């Protein structure tokens, strides 16, 4: 039986375009500087071209990952491709605080047990026991998801 969807987080089209466009612009600018500066040493040109290509590849990855949706159920926060971002039974804390190391308009989840590393640029990342959600997402969608997760954790811990 499928779990009932409690909330979802999507990246708005305008935020996706601005985020991906910024990354593409940066990558293209670095490649342009490398190729248009004749007096630059060949080694530095190679480094700048490589960095520019990395920026362009990251823009492509961001475009693909921000097309996904994060779905919160009573059991887990999952990606629309089926990847489990965080099981609620494994969540120790949800932090929306001002000084939390979190993405823009997002929140931080501290897990009890570390999960495998994963990264969806602009949407979420997981490194060890930390999961960060946000980036090109709207705060009007991430805030309620964090609040629902906090409420579910409170109910779990207090019976």
**DSSP 8-state code for residue 5:** P
pLDDT in tens, 9-55: 999 899 999 999 999 999 999 999 999 999 999 999 999 999 999 99
Assign 1 a pLDDT band (cuts: 50, 70, 90): very low
- Cα 146 vs. chain centroid, distance in angstroms? 14
Burial class of residue 14, CB neighbours in 10 A (0-12, 13-18, 19+): exposed
Q: What is the pTM of this model?
A: 0.83
- pLDDT of 3 over the 90 cut: no
Phi and psi at 53, nearest 5°, equal -65, -40
Q: Which two tokens stand for residue 28?
A: 């293209």
- CA atoms of 59 and 26, how far apart (whole Å): 10
pLDDT in tens, 93-123: 998 887 777 888 899 999 999 999 999 999 9
Q: Which two tokens stand for residue 14?
A: 């305008």
- CA atoms of 19 and 121, how far apart (whole Å): 10
- pLDDT at 2 (0 to 100): 57
Beta-bridge partners for 132: 108, 125
Helices (H) and strands (E) in the chain, counts: 3, 7
Q: Are 6 and 148 in contact (CB under 8 A)?
A: yes
Return the percentage of the chain with pLDDT > 90, whole number. 79
pLDDT in tens, 46-80: 999 999 999 999 999 999 999 999 999 999 999 99
């Amino acid at each position: 039986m499928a779990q009932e969807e409690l909330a979802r987080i999507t990246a708005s089209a305008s935020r996706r375009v601005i985020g991906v466009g910024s990354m593409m612009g940066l990558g293209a600018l670095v490649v342009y500087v490398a190729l248009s500066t004749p007096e630059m040493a060949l080694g530095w040109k190679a480094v700048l071209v490589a960095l520019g290509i990395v920026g362009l590849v990251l823009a492509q990855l961001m475009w693909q990952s921000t097309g996904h949706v994060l779905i919160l159920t009573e059991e887990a926060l999952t990606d629309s491709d089926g990847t489990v971002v965080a099981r609620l039974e494994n969540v120790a804390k949800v932090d929306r605080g001002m000084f939390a190391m979190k993405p823009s308009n997002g929140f931080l989840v501290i897990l009890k047990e570390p999960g495998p590393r994963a990264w969806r640029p602009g949407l979420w990342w997981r490194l060890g026991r930390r999961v960060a959600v946000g980036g090109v997402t709207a705060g009007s969608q991430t805030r309620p998801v964090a609040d629902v997760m906090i409420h579910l954790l409170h109910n779990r811990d207090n019976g």
